[in-house]
Amino acid sequence: MTGSEPDNWIAPDYRPGLVSVIIPTYNRADLISETLDRVGRQTYRPIEMIVIDDGSEDGTVEIIKEWKRRFCNGALSLVYVRQNNLGAGAARNRGLKLSKGEYIQFLDSDDLLHAEKIERSVNLARAQGASVAVAHVARFSSASQNPPNLVASPAYRPNRSDPTRSPYYSVLRWDGPIPLYLRAILNKVGPFREDIRFGEGAEFVVRVKLSGAQIVYIPHVLYFYRIGSSNALTRSGPGQWVVNQLRLLEASASLLRKAGITDRHEWRKLTRDAVKTAYRAYIYTERGDETREALILAKNFATAWSRSASTILRLPTAFLLSVMTTRHLLRRISGRLPGATER
């Protein structure tokens, strides 16, 4: 799937009030119970949980089935489906096709929801007639001495600036799985890209914003993103990260052009991202083809907002790469070398 499917790619009929929580998972025998527990403790009902197992080999299925036997009832159900390892996008799409909820909540299988996440999101979306309700996110580590308190009143965190400010489309201020979505808007937006194995949420968010959906923001921390866990569906090496990043940049630019978005701030952001991708491709993977491709994208993006930037990026590739190498060495000396992979 490429995200271009027509309306009704998922069944438009739904059960009023039902929230479908879609959880892709892969080799999460050590964490999946905690994730399911936090859905089961939601203050909202009814909820259906749809777990799409992307080819686990570590006993994840036994844990999920035992959890279902012990905790599911009429107001809380769980559907388990196993598929070949196709990636998070494919898993989410399959979960959407199986879902019956009026609202959809995505959840990565190593992340956690605050107990009030769904209730607060549904209430605000209904009160304001919104299609998307976005909450704040906090990061945590399994090794942390201060794990998140998911029962106490959620931490208040006001928006520090206007979330609609420019660049609006090309800056990922929230990831695809974070919000609660109205089913109808997902039908309009279309499926997650399955040809992008990780980072697909960034392109999906651009489509959500371009759809004209009314988006409301909840000034509380309600989603907890786990860092440092292994076996993520979206994790890969630096080489695959570069390839996926190129696809994401091309897809985002195509969406903005199709929508007639000419804001220079958007194209400047895409230009910077393309240059960073070229930098990582050259330094971390020594992939010449991907490096040149990223620089070509940067040049194309720069023509939309700055003649001087476009001119600089038209300098010989060898010169640009030497500048990147020098910058890399200086950043290594200063101890500010960035990581090569992202989730």
Domain end, chosen from 227, 251, 283, is at 227
Contact 260, 298 (CB under 8 A): no
* SS3 (DSSP) at 51: strand
pLDDT of residue 187: 95
Q: What is the pLDDT of residues 152-172, one digit of tens each?
A: 999 999 876 778 889 999 888
Same domain, 285 and 210: no
Same domain, 131 and 278: no
Q: Is residue 151 part of a domain?
A: yes
pLDDT at 279 over 90: no
pLDDT at 340 over 50: no
Q: Is residue 205 part of a domain?
A: yes
pLDDT of residue 217: 94
Q: Is residue 3 part of a domain?
A: no
Q: Which residues contact 216 (CB under 8 A, 6 or more apart)?
A: 124, 125, 128, 130, 132, 133, 134
Same domain, 68 and 211: yes
Same domain, 76 and 204: yes
Count of structural domains, the chain: 2
pLDDT at 5 over 80: no
Same domain, 132 and 27: yes
Average pLDDT over residues 98-104: 98
Strand order from edge to edge, sheet including 132-141: 76-82, 47-53, 15-25, 101-106, 180-182, 132-141, 215-227, 112-113
pLDDT at 342 over 50: no
Q: Is residue 311 part of a domain?
A: yes
Cα gap 184→188, rounded to integer Å:
6
Same domain, 198 and 248: no
CA distances for 260 relative to 165, 171, 257, angstroms:
18, 17, 5
Same domain, 242 and 196: no
**145 or 44, higher pLDDT:** 44
pLDDT at 291 over 70: yes
Lowest mean pLDDT among 142-151, 206-215, 218-227: 142-151
Same domain, 54 and 161: yes
Average model confidence (pLDDT) across the chain: 89
User: Count of H helices and E strands in the chain?
Assistant: 11, 8
Tokens of 145: 């001495």
The domain in which residue 160 lies consists of 15-227
